[in-house]
Amino acid sequence: MRTQRWIHAIVGSLVFAAGGAPAVASDSFSVDDLRCEDLVNPVGIDAAKPRLSWRMEAEHHGAAQTAYRVLCATSPELLQEGAADLWDSGRIETDRSRHIGYGGKKLPRGVRCHWTVRTWNEKGDASDWCRPGSWTTFDMTSSGDWKAEWITQSHKGSATPWLRRSFQLEDAPEKAFIYVNALGYFQLFINGERVGSDEFAPHVGQYDKRTFCITYDVAKYLRQGKNTLGFWLGSAWNRRGAGVKTTPSVRAQLEMVDAGGKATTVITDRKWRAKPSSMSHTGGWKWNDFGGEVHDGRLDEPTWANPDHDDSAWSPAAPGNVSTSAISAEMLQRSRVIETILPVKVERVGAATSAPSWLVDMGKAMTGTFEITFPKAPKGHEVSMEFGDSIGKGGRLNSFRQASIYICRGSGTERFRNRFNYASCRYIRITNAPEGEITPDDIKGFLISTDLPRAGTFRCSDPTLNGIQEMTEHTLRCLMLGGYQVDCHSRERQGYGGDAHSSLDTTLCLLRSDAFYRKWTRDWVDQQEPDGGLTYTSPASSHGGGPFWCGFLTAATLKHYHHYGDLSMVERNYPAIKKWLELAQSKTVDDLQQKFCGGWYLGDWASPQGIDDKKNAEIFIQPYMCHALEQAATLADVLGKNGDAATFRRWARARGEATHQKFYDPQGGKYGSGDQVTYILPLAAGIVPEALKDGVFAGFENTLREKNKGHLSTGLSGTYMMVQYLQGIGRDDLIHLFASKTTYPSWGYMIENGATATWEHWNGKASRIHNCYNNIASWFIQGLAGIRPDPAEPGFKNAVIRPAILDDLSQVEASHDSVYGTIRSHWKREGNTITMNVRIPANSTATIHVPATDTGSVAVNGRPVDAAPHVELVQVQDGRVLLQVESGSYEIVSR
């Protein structure tokens, strides 16, 4: 092992795998988790030479890949040596198992590429060929590539129309793919059957710059004879805010090939028929007015997409008014129902003599749709539904004008179901309900989120921290519908950079978000102004922020690289980052930042002192820009752009010196007002002279412990920067001091007051399903459990395991599902003995920081350090014994 490489990783983190002493494992191994562009069997990707990845699965110590061979073919049967008709990589001597570029024949649209891989291990043994994966391509990335036309109902028609077209097939197709490019939301039907499990497709983008195409494999839905394609369209960001303003429109191309090789194409054009559906929208699709839907049961036509449905009275489809832009595949997981939630309480409220009203408590916060069955009622009877996240004084529902209406059909089952609008809420108030009972069995809530796999788990001996972890993960799920992350879905639905920045590390720790951030940071790049300016929100740009908001692009690019090792995203985003910082530098006077990114110029936000901490804005912004420049310099280092890196660091030094000169108070030993944030930001940004650091930090600690009684005085931005800084210098005891509080202001205070999702403000005002304070959960994984990526070997090729062993905790157990496999970390304290159990996945390694002052007090798998197999001593430093370990499970005892 390369000892020098491990010393570079000392600043990293620590991990333990639960489960006691490791069992003896055989040397068998296999290959699993095949991914193309980090997706499982994607259909319709727009990468001409996609990148392939896999995992090595093995339990024995030191398991590592030394070579691989990839086969690609047009059918699974051809995945044999000497038969693969698309690509045979041959044996490649390398330990790389991530982002291996496809090197085979060009794949035409509609041809499925099947692939498999085998690997050789550290002993030269070969694995079996793994279970095959597959992908298909999408190559209509400009409007000139399409035969299909944009269509809509009419330019002044329904916001949720039905469109359909019937056609004849001589034979059922052997292969059939449909390519759907839509503005607004759509649901696709073939012969009356809904295609796919997507909800609110496509994802949100900046539609004047880029629209998305979704590809479906639909051969199983088609048959010989008459067939019908149907689209149910819905309004969304096509109405306003995402660069366009148009009626819901679709362009689709169905390409089929039968067993005899005959090709047939059906496209959207003016031969299609259109009709208003039984759904319409309410609200303006804007701030505090996202409304809901009107479902008119009288207009339901369950057979509207069936081949035998009579559409003779329908109108011809109208041409869609859509301008040309780039067309991309979404290239990330879709929004789907990830949980069905039943109410915990349904009670009748209001006067007994009035029309029935009901209050529904779903038991926890959620974002999604609802299915509500009502008692029988006269035709035309209107039922109102209001959706809110909390109940205020006098029983007022905090709804942000989220409301829907159901109009009864007067026969059969009376059932409301959302189609193209959703609610972010916990409670539903139903008014003017039909006479009769409504029970919990009559109501279902469908939690909808971008379906990112879970990547992190955490439990410890402190129930408050466990509750915060559960609340935070659930909040993230509630805020990720649509392929981006919002501040809140109830009032704004904006992808705010400030909120995204503060929850960045938590999202990376808890959710598999490699494809997610590749898509979302591209939205930010798409929106960059010619002068380099970045918006505060993306997509659907509007509203305010400050440098911390725009700086999300820089932070996300760097942290994503550390977690996933994806250099291509750094290469793509770096020019936009550089251009933004050059704009910022052009707006400096005497090395101090002036306003350069719009009218708002926020520092910390949503602190206990007030929504906008104006008095400390400059003390936040000036150091933060130094911090952003250092992050950009690190990205320049990664790309080998030494001149840029030196320039960014020179700018940062000059700004730091100017900030210190202007804002430091030598009498008080502080910056600005002396609040927590004004101590932390100068320290975190490295602008405090070395001789003053201890004094400034002592001032911070005294402020936290004495003035604020161990509570936070920071908001969205300041709390994030403080947690990151304290974790980085090993003062996890101070993080635990405020993280474990249950009194105001704290996460525990939210839980004590019934929260199941985090709030917009510490005092509970405004939204109660919000992204302001979700940064703390990254500390559970990276700090307490100690699982962190190693910047020198990004993507967890080498993990750095540095747990925070705190006096107030007796044990911590966590995991992180890295791209190489699951890293597990468990430590417990019994008297003066610390026992750590660590699991490192195959084909990766780890640097483990063991709390001990000498190697003699440490045993690894029952042996002294110098006699433990697969373990190398790096050094003893600052009360830690640093061990470099190969893959496998380790029990480490420190006495």
Euclidean distance between CA atoms 762 and 758, whole angstroms: 9
pLDDT in tens, 50-104: 999 999 999 999 999 999 999 999 999 999 999 999 999 999 999 999 999 999 9
Residue 155 pLDDT level (bands cut at 50, 70, 90): low
CA 658 to chain centre: 37
What is the distance of C-alpha 102 from the center of its chain?
27
Q: What is the pLDDT of residues 184-216, one digit of tens each?
A: 999 999 999 999 999 999 999 999 999 999 999
Contact between 155 and 161 (Cβ < 8 Å):
no
- Residue pLDDT, tens place only, 455-464: 999 999 999 9
Average pLDDT (497-515) is 98
Radius of gyration over every alpha carbon of the chain, rounded to an integer in angstroms: 29
Q: Tokens in use for 45? A: 């990707």
Whole-prediction pTM value? 0.95
The Cα–Cα gap between 223 and 228 comes to 10
C-beta of residue 429 within 8 angstroms of C-beta of residue 423:
no
Take residue 685 and report the two structure tokens written for it.
């940004």
**Residue with the two structure tokens 């290469």:** 571
Q: How many C-beta atoms lie closer than 10 Å to residue 705's C-beta? A: 14
Specify the amino acid at residue 351.
A
Q: What are the tokens at 363? A: 């038991």
Could you tell me the CA-to-CA distances from 629 to 70, 502, 568, 622 in Å, in that order?
Answer: 41, 18, 21, 11
Instruction: Count other Cβ atoms within 10 Å, centred on residue 768.
Output: 27
Tell how strand 798-801 and strand 845-851 pair up.
parallel
Angle between helices 514-526 and 567-586 (to 10 degrees): 40
pLDDT of residue 324: 80
Angle between helices 642-663 and 676-684 (to 10 degrees): 150
Residue 550: band (very low, low, confident or very high) from pLDDT cuts 50, 70, 90:
very high
Contact of 489 with 367, CB cutoff 8 Å: yes
Of 255, 330, 252, which is closest to residue 47 (Cα–Cα)?
330
779 vs 461: CA distance, rounded Å: 15
The one-letter code for the residue type at 276 is P
pLDDT given at position 154: 82
The predicted pLDDT at position 4 comes to: 36
Residue 353 makes CB contacts below 8 A (sequence gap 6+) with none
Distance, CA of 606 to CA of 185 (rounded, Å): 33
Mean model confidence pLDDT for the chain: 94
User: pLDDT tens, 627-659?
Assistant: 999 999 999 999 999 999 999 999 999 999 999
**pLDDT tens string 750-805:** 999 999 999 999 999 999 999 999 999 999 999 999 999 999 999 999 999 999 99
Mean pLDDT across the stretch 673-697? 97
Nearest Cα residue to 553 out of 632, 622, 606, 630? 632
| Three state DSSP letters for 584-641 | HHHCEECCEECCCCCCCCCCCEEECCEEECHHHHHHHHHHHHHHHHHHHHHHHHHCCC
